[in-house]
Homo-oligomer: A and B are copies of this chain.
Amino acid sequence: MTITSTGPYALESLPEANATYVASFGDKASLPLPPGKKVAIVGCMDARLNTHAATGLHEGDAHHIRNAGGRVSPDAVRSLVISQELLGTREIIIIHHTDCGMLTFNTPQLHQKLKARPSITPGQHAAVDSFAFLEFSDLEKSVKDDVGFLKEHPLILKETAISGFIYKVETGELVKVA
């Protein structure tokens, strides 16, 4: 097995889609680096969530931080510190969603699946077991927990406005829960 350098989407579909975008780029060329609305989104990576279209936060408006679950992982905090300290954002909006994959497994199960891969050697088992996958079993609680975590975090500026939403993949609706 070899890792190929270019996948089918990047090779066959992305160039034409990007050319269409470039052709209608217009005044986006003059957008400044700092987000105009001073907002940072922390949202799930889910394929059905478009954090631009669903929120109205388009090019130039906000930072879009996304990961599995939309969790406030140490890496999300790294991004938020840069967002606030260097680029002036002062509002954080957390977005988790219905039918999330993070509700469907737990970390020990995923450790077992990974260790069962033929490519993973026994010497790598400890590294696999060190991964916390940050799944959750209660959607609304996960949003409230993450909002609470950021409100107490010493590196998040105290004047930050922080809210939490559930995105309903069935309707496109954002429901505020924190």
- Seen from chain A, the residues whose Cβ lies within 8 Å of a Cβ on chain B are 1-11, 13-18, 20-22, 25, 28-29, 31, 33-40, 45-68, 73-76, 78-79, 81-83, 85-87, 90-93, 99, 101-102, 104-105, 110, 113-114, 119-120, 124, 127-128, 131-134, 151, 154-155, 157-163, 165, 169-174, 176, 178
Q: How far is the CB of A13 from chain B (nearest CB, A)?
A: 6
Q: How far is the CB of A35 from chain B (nearest CB, A)?
A: 4
Q: Quick one: which of B6, B127, B155, B159 contacts A3, CB cutoff 8 A?
A: B159
Name the B residues within 8 Å of A46 (CB-CB).
33, 63
Q: Is B133 a contact of A114 with CB atoms below 8 Å?
A: no
Q: Is A6 a contact of B56 with CB atoms below 8 Å?
A: no
Q: How far is the CA of A93 from the CA of B9 in the complex (A)?
A: 9
Q: How far is the CB of A101 from chain B (nearest CB, A)?
A: 6
Name the B residues within 8 Å of A64 (CB-CB).
45, 47, 49, 51, 64, 66
Q: Is A173 a contact of B58 with CB atoms below 8 Å?
A: no
Q: Is A161 a contact of B6 with CB atoms below 8 Å?
A: yes
Assembly stoichiometry (copies): 2
Name the B residues within 8 Å of A60 (CB-CB).
47-48
Q: Is B59 a contact of A22 with CB atoms below 8 Å?
A: no
Q: How far is the CA of A40 from the CA of B35 in the complex (A)?
A: 24
Q: Is B162 a contact of A3 with CB atoms below 8 Å?
A: yes
Q: Quick one: which of B15, B56, B82 contacts A20, CB cutoff 8 A?
A: B56
> With A31-B169, A33-B101 as given contacts, are A78 and B131 in contact (CB-CB < 8 Å)?
yes
Q: How far is the CB of A14 from chain B (nearest CB, A)?
A: 6
Name the B residues within 8 Å of A5 (CB-CB).
161-163, 178
